[in-house]
Amino acid sequence: MTTAADWKYMSETLGEIKNTLTDIQKRMQALELREAGCSPLMTSKLDAAFRKLDEHEAKLKNLPRMEVTAAIAAWVAGLCAASVITYLITRLLP
């Protein structure tokens, strides 16, 4: 049989459980609010990262043109070096 003391104990225990569940609910709401604030920040950071990737991709597409320019510059430098060497040889060996 249940006595008045048993009923009182169960009532107190249920009150503690109710308080614990209320605290858990408050914590969950706080976490959800904090997460909601982080979402736009993460979205903007991801957008910025994708913009940087697009810029780097555009630079990489221009890379073959830069390789051709570097090859032409090397060819011109080789011609200049050859002409300087030829000039020095003609001046030093009469």
pTM flag (> 0.85):
no
DSSP string, 26-81: HHHHHHHHHHHHHHHHHHHHHHHHHHHHHHHHHHHHTHHHHHHHHHHHHHHHHHHH
Q: Are residues 13 and 37 in the same domain?
A: yes
Pairs from 59-68 (Cβ < 8 Å, separation ≥ 24)? none
The pLDDT tens digits for 48-85 are 888 998 888 888 787 777 777 888 889 999 999 999 99
Where in the sequence is the domain holding 67, given as residue range(s)? 62-94
Q: Are residues 48 and 73 in the same domain?
A: no
Separation of CA 71 from chain center: 35
Nearest 5°: the CA angle 71, 77, 78 is: 90
Q: Are residues 39 and 5 in the same domain?
A: yes
The pLDDT tens digits for 41-55 are 778 888 888 899 888
Report how many domains make up the chain.
2
Q: Are residues 6 and 34 in the same domain?
A: yes
